[in-house]
Amino acid sequence: MSAKRIHFVGSDHAETPAAIRRLKDYYGQAELGSADVIVALGGDGFMLRVLHQMVESGLPVYGMRMGRIGFLMNGYQDDNLLERLAQAKSVSLNPLRMQATCVDGTEHRALAINEVSLIRQSNQAAHLSLSINGSTKIDELVADGILVSTAAGSTAYNFSARGPILPLGTGALAVTPISPFRPRRWLGAVLPSAASIEIDILEPKARPVSATADYIEFRDVVRVEVVEDRDTVLKLMFDPDHSLEERILNEQFR
């Protein structure tokens, strides 16, 4: 990629402001509307926020790690940035689209790059019903919650909840229970990415549940629908020796 017009953004990490100033002084700061690429300095959490905020721009995002966790980031360097951008490989991701209906009847929509998660809000376990493509698969799941993960997010919360790692390009989604009590033997499912996933909260007032798309939370939900948004394409850029596909693959052998 030949990218000369760069729009820099940075997290609130202690070292980021000085690094941003150095980069802007050397490479300049293009306005978002005229930029070729967004360069984001921070960690994975910041990268998710940038992708959410910049989704309408359609610009690729190249991350450089400044925080402790940087699975979605490249290493930080001041020099040779134009050469690195020219050699970087682009990865296209489709996010999840969540529609959540709350107890008061309001409806909310949000995108999730990593996962959509439903979590109990009280000390009582959530009681959930799970349907796939309109067909009920689990009448009653008693658990702390449940999540739906993309391949890109499968090494994050999904993996911590003992869900499967999904290599990029598999065309699959992971549905993983969080601390399930019933049914005891159900550990989750791997579904085609075209699947429509519907989750109903069986006792929403007595056992309230929140729904979160990455970091966007809605509380007291009664129903959540999740599908892959194939009309939205997010582009991340990685150094050739820092392939996201390879990193996700390698996580299965750690």
The boundaries of the domain holding residue 87 are 6-94+233-253
pLDDT tens-place string over residues 123-170: 999 999 999 999 999 999 999 999 999 999 999 999 999 999 999 989
Query: 58 with 105, same domain?
Result: no
Q: Rounded to an integer, what distance in angstroms lies between the CA atom of residue 230 and that of residue 200?
A: 24
Say if residue 247's pLDDT is above 90: no
**Would you name the residues annotated as active-site residues?**
44
The domain that contains 224 carries what CATH number?
A: 2.60.200.30
Query: 126 with 166, same domain?
Result: yes
pTM to 2 decimal places: 0.92
Residue of higher predicted confidence among 69 and 121:
121
pLDDT band per the 50, 70, 90 thresholds, residue 253: confident
Query: 212 with 222, same domain?
Result: yes
The domain that contains 246 carries what CATH number?
A: 3.40.50.10330
Coil, helix or strand for 173? strand
pLDDT tens-place string over residues 200-229: 999 999 999 999 999 999 999 999 999 999
Coil, helix or strand for 242? helix
Phi, psi values for residue 231, rounded to 5°? -85, -10
- pLDDT of 192 reads 97
Q: Rounded to an integer, what distance in angstroms lies between the CA atom of residue 137 and that of residue 191?
A: 12
Query: 149 with 185, same domain?
Result: yes
Say if residue 2's pLDDT is above 70: no
